[in-house]
Amino acid sequence: MTSSVGMSAVLGACARPRDAAVREPKQDGGSGEGGEVTPGEDLMREHGILRRIMFLYDEAIRRLDGREEVPINVLLSAAGVVRRVIEDYHEKLEEDFLFPRFERAGKLTDLVAVLRRQHQAGRIVTGDVLTLARGPLGEQAGRLKLADRLRAFNRMYRPHAAREDTVLFPALRALVGGKAYAELGEQFEDKEHRVLGEGGFEKAVAEVAELEAALGIADLASFTPT
């Protein structure tokens, strides 16, 4: 097992300048015009980070199953992004700002209950991944346990994120109204700055891109079927 991929590349990526074009001042009440990020778009693009992490996990699973070397520091960094960006930020937004509104309105309550339970389950799995990845992986039993936890994460979060993107998030604006929807966008932005720092989303995307490069899966064109 190797940890030869240095973290300097990741840290360097995180220090890149923030792309100011991603977030423009709110100008139209959150309608999506003028280029600003609406609450639904904000949440969905964070799901994009999650999906790229799951792709990293897929590659780690393939290597673990095939007894190939896995750069453990890359896997730990990927799980760290999940904990920092998805669990401590993105899911907290949903739990603090979205789920209670649906519950108070009596809308999609069965779905919200499942999503809440899956957030808790996901945090447990991430803890397992971090613990197992730091442990001895020279034996096949340890590799199989880690691969199993990565599979469990991906199996749950693929339908979890898809259901939120296609059911929960589209219902949000109709539930709260245009004014409250615009206010949510400002609250999300303030929360991002407090939890992730200035340009938190852009830094996370850059970090994930560096991790993809470290695992040799950064070339999107290479996945085009022939």
Q: What is the pLDDT of residue 13?
A: 39
DSSP per-residue letters across 41-58: HHHHHHHHHHHHHHHHHH
Using DSSP's 3-state secondary structure scheme, residue 66 falls into coil
Q: What is the dihedral of CA 13, 9, 84, 66, to 10 degrees?
A: 130
Q: What is the pLDDT of residue 1?
A: 44
* Domain boundaries defined on the chain: 36-216
- pLDDT, tens digit (0-9, with 9 covering 90-100), for 85-111: 999 999 999 999 999 999 999 999 999
Q: How many CA atoms lie within 13 A of 154 on its CB side?
A: 17
Tell me the average pLDDT of the chain: 86
Q: What is the pLDDT of residue 136?
A: 75
Q: What is the pLDDT of residue 21?
A: 34
- pLDDT, tens digit (0-9, with 9 covering 90-100), for 25-78: 333 433 444 467 899 999 999 999 999 999 999 999 999 999 898 999 999 999
Mean pLDDT, to the nearest integer, of 194-199? 90
The CATH class for the domain spanning 36-216 reads mainly alpha
CA distance 141 to 115: 31
Q: What is the reported pTM?
A: 0.83
